[in-house]
Structure 1
C-alpha cells in the first residue's frame, strides 16, 4: 500500500495536472462556476482526508468529480432548509452518473464558454486565464498591469452574465463553429501577444502569459484539430522560438536584423513548420496560418539578407485579401522595402499615415523613421523617431527609439565641420 507521503504527492500531482479537467466537468454538472470551484476544492480536501486511510480509488479523476458533485448538492440541500420557498434555487440533476459522464473531457466546452461573444473582450481574457489556465486573480492583474480588484470584478461580471443569460455550456455545432472559434483564437492570441510583446511597462515580455497561450493552443489543437487552430499554434511557436534573441542583457530590444539566430529554438521552429504545412495543405487555412507561414519563412532564413522577401510579400498580399488591415499593410510595406528598396517601402508607409488610421500607432512612425534613416534623410528620420517616442508606452521600446535618435544626432554632430 502507498505510504501517506506518497499519496500526498499523488494528490498534489493530480491537482496540478487534472484539476482543470475536474473543474470543467463539475461546471457542466452543476451549472455554476463558483459552485464548481467550491466543489473542486472540497473534493480534494476529502481526498487528503480519506485516501491515506482507505486507499487511492481506481479512477481518481472520476472519484474527484463524483465526490465534488455530491458535496455541492448536499451543501445546496442544507442551504435550502433556511430559505423561503420562492427564493430556493433549483438543485442540479441528482441522477446517478455513468462512468463516461464522469470521465468526459469538458475543457473544450469551458474554453468556448469563457470566450463566448456575449462577454466583453477583457472579460473573456480574464475568465479564460482564471478558469482554464488556473492563474490567480493577482497573477492576471500583474500581467495586464491592472488592480486585482478590477480583475476580480471582471471575472465576477462574466460569471454572472453566463448564469443570467443562460449561456450554454457547450461546443458550438458545425454551423456556428467558425464564428465562435474565431473568438476563441482571438483570445488565445491576445494573451500570447501580451506575453510576447507587452503593451506597456518596463519589461519587453511576460513569459508566463505567452507560455499559458501556447498551452491553450496545444490543448485546442489536441481537442479540435482545425487548420486555423494548427495555424495559430504554429504562429505562437515560431514567434516563441526567437524569444531568447529578442532582448539583450539589460532588456533592450534587439530587432530581427541584429538577432543572433543561433539563439533561436530549433525544436520550436521544427514543430511550428510541421503545423504550418498541415494547415496550408488543408486548403481551409485562414489568417493565422498565413501569418505562421510568414514566420516560417523568417525561421528558415540564415540571415536577413538571405530571407525570401518576395515570398513574404506574396503571403502578405494573400493575408490582406482575407483580412484587410492597415497594420498588415504596414508589415507588407516593411517587407516590400526589403525586396524593392527603402524608397518603395517609404511610399507605402507615407500613404498609410496620410490615410490617418495609423496616426497613433508608434510602430508606423518607427518604421518610417527607419526607412528614412536607411535613405540618409536624417532630419526627417529624427522627427519620425521623436513622433514614435512620444507615442510608445513600453519601456524597452522607448529605450530602443531613444538610442536610435541619439545615434542620428551623434552622426549629425560628427559630420559638422
Structure 2
C-alpha cells in the first residue's frame, strides 16, 4: 500500500464526490472509509501492474490496481450512497443512486484546485477557509494546523468541524475568493518548505494552474515567490539537518532555472502595475537571488520594497523583517531603532534583536536574546540553530 499515492489522490477524490452531489462532510467521511478499505485491500505497489478483473470495493488483495484513483472514487461513492440510503432524514439523496457511474478509469481532470475554491467559499471566514483547506486538501493533521495558529488542538477541531458544516451542500457554482485561495496556497507551501510536511511541490503545481486560469496579478506574484524560495531549498539545511541561514548558504546550489522563471513571471506581473503583497515579497526574494554573494545584496532597494509591503499590509511581521533590512542597509543601530517600535511578544523578535545586537558589538545582550529566542522557536531546527548561536557567543565572552 503506497501511502504517498493515497495522500496525493485524496483531495481530487473528495472533489469528485462533491461535484457529483455529496456534501463536503459526507464526501470526506466516505473517502476516509475508502482509504481504510485501500489499506486493507491494496498490495504493496498499487500503481503498478494490471488486474482487469478486480472489482472496486472488494478486499482480498488479489492483485495490483490498474486505476487507483478510479478505485477510490468507486468505493467512496458506494460508501456515500450506502450512508445516504440509511439516513431517512436525507431521502432526497436516494435519487443519486441512479447516477452511479459505470466501471472504467476515473476522469483525468484535476479537481483538486476546485476543492481549494470550495474551501475558500465566501461563507467562510478566511481563517476557517485556510484551516479547512489545510485539512481537506493539504492533508495536514488538526494538531499541525493548531500549532500553526497557536491555538489548542480542540479549538482547531471545532473550527474545522464548523467549516465543514458551513460548506455542506455548497456547489462549485460559487467559487471562493481568489485572495483567500492564494493565502491558503502560500500557507501550504510554507508548511511544506519547513520540512514538517512536504507540500511545497504540490502548492507550486496548484498555483501554476491558478495563475493560468485567472488574470489576477497576485496569482503570478505568488507563483514567482514560491519558485524563488524553492530555488534555494537544497541549500537551506546542512547534511546533518541543521538550519543554514540565507547569508551562509552555498549559492552554487541554488536552482538557476527556477530563479530565472520566477524573475520572468514577476516582471510580467509588475508590468501590469497592480502591485500586491506577493509581488512585493517576490521582488525582495529576487533581489536576494540576484546577489552573487551575501555581501553584494542590494539592501537599500530591499528596504524600499519592505516599505511598500508595510503600506500594503501593515503587518508587524513585515515590520520585523524590515528592521533586519534597515540594519543591513543603514547599520545595526538603525535596525534596533526600527525594532524598538515593535511589540516584545512578536514571534522571532528576540532572534532579530540578538542578531542586531551582535552586529553592534553587544555580545552579552545578543547571547541572552539568542537563548530567549531558542526557547520560543517554532521548530526543532530553528531552536537548535539559535541555541548554537547563544553557545558560540557565550564561549567568546568567557575567553
TM-score by length of 1: 0.72
Of 207-216 and 294-303, more deviation after overlay is shown by 207-216
- The reply on whether 1:332 has 2:322 as its aligned counterpart is yes
Whole-angstrom CA distance in 2 between matches of 1:156 and 1:313:
42
On the 8 A contact 2:364/2:397 being kept in 1, the answer is no
RMSD over equivalenced CA pairs, Å: 4.4
SS at match of 1:365: helix
| Whole-Å separation in 1 of the counterparts to 2:394 and 2:310 | 37
Instruction: Specify which of 270, 276, 289 is matched with residue 280 of structure 1.
Output: 270
Task: Give the whole-Å Cα distance in 1 for the aligned partners of 2:306 and 2:375.
Answer: 29
SS at match of 1:254: coil
1:316 paired with 2:313, answer no
Name the residue aligned to 1:200.
Answer: none
Using the TM superposition, give the Cα deviation of residue 286 of structure 1 relative to its aligned residue in structure 2, in angstroms: 0.6
Given that 1:126 and 1:155 are in contact with CA atoms closer than 8 Å, whether structure 2 keeps it comes out as yes
The equivalent residue for 1:192 is: 189
**Count of aligned residue pairs for this structure pair:** 373
Instruction: Give the Å deviation of 1:114.
Output: 1.1
Residue 52 (structure 2) aligns with: 52
Which one of the candidate residues 32, 39, 50 is aligned to 2:23?
A: 32
CA distance in 2, matches of 1:103, 1:262: 38
Q: What is the deviation of 1:140?
A: 6.2
* 221, 225, 236: which one aligns with 1:231: 221
Counterpart of 1:112 in structure 2 is 117
Q: Which residue of 2 aligns with 1:397?
A: 382
Q: How far 1:270 sits from its partner (Å)? A: 2.0
Q: Counterpart in 1 of 2:339?
A: 349
**Cα deviation, residue 72, structure 1:** 7.5
Question: Per the alignment, in what secondary structure is the counterpart of residue 91 of structure 2?
Answer: coil
CA distance in 2, matches of 1:136, 1:294: 29
Query: Where does 1:119-130 land on structure 2 (aligned, <5 Å)?
Result: 119=124, 123-130=128-135
Give the alignment of 1:12-91 within 5 angstroms.
20-21=11-12, 23-36=14-27, 38=30, 52=52, 75=82, 78-79=85-86, 83=88, 87-91=89-93
Does the alignment pair 1:169 with 2:181?
no
Contact 1:252 1:399 in 2 (8 A): yes
Alignment match, 1:3: none
1:89 is paired with a residue whose SS is: helix
> SS in structure 1 opposite 2:261?
helix
More displaced stretch, 318-327 vs 116-125: 116-125
Alpha-carbon contact 1:115-1:183 (below 8 Å) kept? yes
Unaligned regions of 5+ residues in structure 1, if any? Answer: 1-13, 55-59, 198-204
Provide the C-alpha distance between the structure 1 equivalents of 2:387 and 2:273, rounded to a whole number of angstroms.
44
Residues 209, 34 of structure 1: CA spacing in aligned structure 2 closer, same or farther, 3 A cutoff? same
List alignment gaps of at least 5 residues for structure 2.
39-45, 55-66, 101-106
What TM-score results when the alignment is normalised by the length of structure 2? 0.75
Counterpart CA distance in 2 for 1:23 and 1:193 is: 23
Matched, 1:378 2:369: no
- Corresponding position of 1:202: none
Q: Aligned partners of 2:190 and 2:31: how far apart in 1?
A: 33
Greater C-alpha radius of gyration? 1
C-alpha deviation, 1:287, in angstroms? 0.2
SS where residue 208 of structure 1 aligns?
Answer: coil
